[in-house]
Every structure is written in C-alpha cells, then in structure tokens.
Chain A
Amino acid sequence: MSKKELKTVSNTVTWKEITEGGIMPYAGNAHLFKTGDWRSMKPIWLQEKCKQCLLCFPVCPDSSILVNEEGAMTGIDFDHCKGCGVCAKVCPFKAIDFVEEGK
C-alpha cells in the first residue's frame, strides 16, 4: 500500500482528502483496523502439541491464524483475533488452549 493509500484510511485524513462516498479504491486494508482489543478470551498456541494439521486455519472467522510461506502455522495474530475460540474447539490435539484475557 502506498503512502497516499495509507493516508486515505488514516485517522488524520481530512474531509477534503477522504475518498468520495467512502469507496475503498484498493483491496486488503482490513489489517489496518485492529480489533484485538474486542477480545475477552484468548487462544494460546501450544507449539509442542501442534501437529500442523491446519484445521484451525480455515475455521478462523478472521485471518488470525498465522501461516508462513512453507504452509506451517506459526502463531496467532492478536491484533485481530477476537477470541471466539473456534480454533481451540476444532483442534484435535488440544494444541490451542483457551483462557481468559489478562490471566
């Protein structure tokens, strides 16, 4: 994303600079809107138990299961994870713990 594109979605953009009618003239900027602080419950990835089956990845309603270029799960994106717990529920190996936020 260019600096100009970043500007149009920043919290400092003025009414004269903002996109007309609220259109988004480019894709993939949802990551700029951080939703992690909505969370009251938190998944904890237990790397030693994880078998890399990746069942957690497709069930995440956000895109908060982080997967590297080799296709391996590497952790959880806490800037966007809302703590729904679906990943913990679906894991056949109990490799994702689900705990109260802040504990």
Chain B
Amino acid sequence: MAIRERMSGNEAMAVAMKQINPDVVAAFPITPSTEVPQYFSTFVADGVVDTEFVAVESEHSALSACVGAQAAGGRAMTATSANGLALMWEILYIAACSRLPIVMACVNRTLSGPLNIHNDHSDSMGARDSGWIQLYSENNQEAYDNMLMANRIGEHPDVMLPVMVCQDGFITSHAIENLELLEDDKVKAFVGEYNPKEYLLNKENPISVGPLDLQAHCFEHKRQQAQAMMNAKKVILEVSAEFAKLTGRSYGLFEEYMTEDADVCMVVLNSTAGTAKYVVDQYRAAGKKVGLIKPRVFRPFPVDELTAALSKFKAIAVMDKADSFNAAGGPLFTEITSAMFGKGVVAPKVINYIYGLGGRDVRSGDLEIVFNKLLEIASTGKVDSVYNYLGVRE
C-alpha cells in the first residue's frame, strides 16, 4: 500500500531523492529551492542515504561537481532556482552535450532582475535550449512523481540526457499538501541501478571526457544530441506507463482536462493549471465548452501530439509565466504556434497571455478574463490582440 503523507513540494522532492539514494548530491542554497538540499543534508547526517553530499561555494560549482560525479560513473543530483540556475548556465550545456543524465530539482523563481524571490518561469524557460529534458509539475504529488521518473528517463541508453524537474516556487514548493509516497523498496526497484556504458572510474576501459571538439566532429555530436532528445519522447511515455502500473497515476506528454468537446482551450504550465481546472469546472457547470491542456514535457517538445490535440479548438490561449522579450509572445506561445504552423494546423485562433510575473497572484477571476476572451473569439472569429499581459495594472 502506498503511504499517505502531507508535505511541502520541496520536501516531496527531497524525499524522492532520499528514496533514489544517489551517489552524489552537490547543491548550493537559493530561495525557494533551499529546502531541497536542506532536507537532503539531514538525510545524509542521519545516515539514511549513502550519498556523498558536496557543500559547494556556488551553483556553478554544484553542477560542475555533478558533471564530475556523473562522468565518473555515479548518479548525481542537484537542486536550484532562478539566479542559481543562471550561474549554472555554462555547465548546463556541458552536462547535456557530455550526455550526463544528472537530475535537477528546479524550483521555478523569477530570474533577476528586478530582484524577486517569487515564482515565474523565467529561469527554466531561459534554459530551454540547453539540452536538458524539462518536466513540469502542477502540484507536490507531480513534483514527487516526476523526480522518481527522471532518472529512468535520462539514463535510458537511447537518451543519456540530464533532466530538470520543475515546480512552482512557494506556490507548491512551500505549500503543504497531501500526497501518496511509494515505499522505499518499490522506488529502489523502479529506479534501479545506474550502469553507464563508459565512465571515468572504469579502470578496465579508461576514457577521457570533454575533449576539444572542432569543426570535424562537433556538428556530428550535436546531431547525435538532437537524436537523443527525439528519442526521449518515447522513453518518457514508456517510463510513465510503467510508473502508472506501479502507482495508478498516469502521466503523458501533457494532460487534457475537459477538452473532448471543448470549443476553446487554455494551455498552461505548473500550478496555475490547478486554478484553471477550477475555472473550467465553473464554466462547464454554466454550459460553456472550455477545456485545458497542461504540458508536462516541454523538452522534448511534443510537436505531433500537441498540435493534433490543439487542432480541434476554435480558439486557444497560451499562457506564459515568462516573457521572451521578443515583442511577440512568450516561449510557450511561440513554440506552440510555430509547431502548429509547421504541421499545417492553422484553423484555431491562438492568443498569448503573459501572466504572474514576479509571483503576481493569479486568481480564478484572472483566468475568467482569458476564457471570456476565448469564447468571444470563438463566436466572432476575430482576434484584436495576440500578445497580451494579464493582471498587470494598466
């Protein structure tokens, strides 16, 4: 039987890490992810994990230590937020191109500036092209579940890429919710051993990692890395199916909520999806055909599946908790609309809302504005503004 517990999103991620029992955790505290290594260091002090905890002097060093540990043949994990993730930037790319399946708990926080400790997605969205797999989590349960699946996904021989598990800073990271934990032995059996083909500490077959890679070979390595990201989609679905058998909790590339006969749809990541489901329920009760799509996997971007799902709506609002500052729309919006265009899905009207930046509260009333606009577009067929800010004082 699964274990009923109540804990914060940070503790849920730390408990997942405890059950995974990685070889190395290297992390530097930064709000709001601080509690993840804080909880984890107590597990180390209490001797309930075998992990070498490396207390480093910066996030650059934290991820560098993870790169070293993973290249050596170990399983390495870290946690960070916002400016900590920014300080890891250089090493994010190196971890990905070196094909080191490090797992990171990324507790989303506004990337300075202005200086702000609260939630939006400007940190992980900025890292979207770094070559990491990105999984997003609506609540504590999903943060825990995604952490348990991350190693299996990243370490698959067809993938071998690092994985970032994202959840919303404070909103879920510090909110205590009920959730179901798996027993330690079941996690151990599910996650399994990490057995890389090649690793630095293999004295039978010594290797070098990270050599100079110039015009003659770098391009081939990038192509190989692109293939790994393409392969990841199938692996994510396989691992998620196995996880569903074990727990009864099903995860796909994205979640569809009340979309079957919906005329209009909102696409939104992480915790705001929870608020949006509440609004969808209210509108459904009033007979309005609204639905919701919540992407779980942003990298790899599920182009085929997402465009197929979106093709049936009259109007779509893509919600971005980060702006690209391209004067055109946020990262999720531009990604979705370019995917739709590439697949020839041009019938739905698609608009973008930048919302909740710097931790601005997003209430059901805010999302009602979006659904009302979508219903208006669906009936008139007219879009007056594509790129919009929601909930900002005009």
A binds B: yes
A residues whose Cβ falls under 8 Å from a Cβ of B? 9, 11, 13-16, 18, 20-27
Interface string of B62-91 (1 = CB under 8 A from A): 000000000000000000000000000000
B residues whose Cβ falls under 8 Å from a Cβ of A? 97-100, 160, 197-198, 205-211, 213, 216-217, 219-221, 223-224, 227
Query: Chain B: interface secondary structure?
Result: loop
| CB atoms of B207 and A23 under 8 A apart | yes
Residues on A with C-beta less than 8 A from B221 are 15, 18, 21-22
A22 to B221, CA, bound (A): 7
| CB atoms of B217 and A18 under 8 A apart | yes
Residues on B with C-beta less than 8 A from A9 are 217
| CB atoms of B207 and A24 under 8 A apart | yes
Name the distance in Å between B216's Cβ and chain A's nearest Cβ. Answer: 5
Q: Which chain B residue has the least Cβ–Cβ distance from A20?
A: B99
Which residue among A11, A21, A24, A26 has the maximum number of chain B CB atoms within 10 Å of its CB? A21
A26 to B198, CA, bound (A): 11
| CB atoms of A25 and B205 under 8 A apart | yes
Name the distance in Å between A28's Cβ and chain B's nearest Cβ. Answer: 10
**A11-B216, A13-B217, A18-B217 known; A23 vs B224 contact (CB < 8 Å):** no
A13 to B219, CA, bound (A): 11
| CB atoms of B209 and A21 under 8 A apart | yes
A40 to B209, CA, bound (A): 32
Partner of A23, one of B209, B219, B223: B209
> Besides the contacts A16-B224, A22-B211, A22-B213, what 9 more A-B pairs have beta carbons closer than 8 Å?
A14-B220, A15-B221, A18-B221, A20-B160, A20-B224, A22-B217, A23-B98, A23-B211, A25-B207
Minimum-distance CB pairs A-B, first 9: A21-B99, A15-B223, A24-B208, A15-B220, A21-B98, A18-B220, A11-B216, A15-B224, A23-B207
| CB atoms of A23 and B220 under 8 A apart | no
A-B contact pairs, 17 of them (CB 8 A): A15-B219, A15-B220, A15-B221, A18-B221, A20-B197, A20-B198, A20-B224, A21-B98, A21-B99, A21-B100, A21-B221, A22-B97, A22-B211, A23-B198, A23-B208, A24-B207, A25-B205
Q: Which chain B residue has the least Cβ–Cβ distance from A24?
A: B208
A40 to B216, CA, bound (A): 24
Residues on A with C-beta less than 8 A from B223 are 15
| CB atoms of A22 and B227 under 8 A apart | no
Residues on B with C-beta less than 8 A from A18 are 217, 220-221, 224
A25 to B211, CA, bound (A): 11
A22 to B97, CA, bound (A): 8
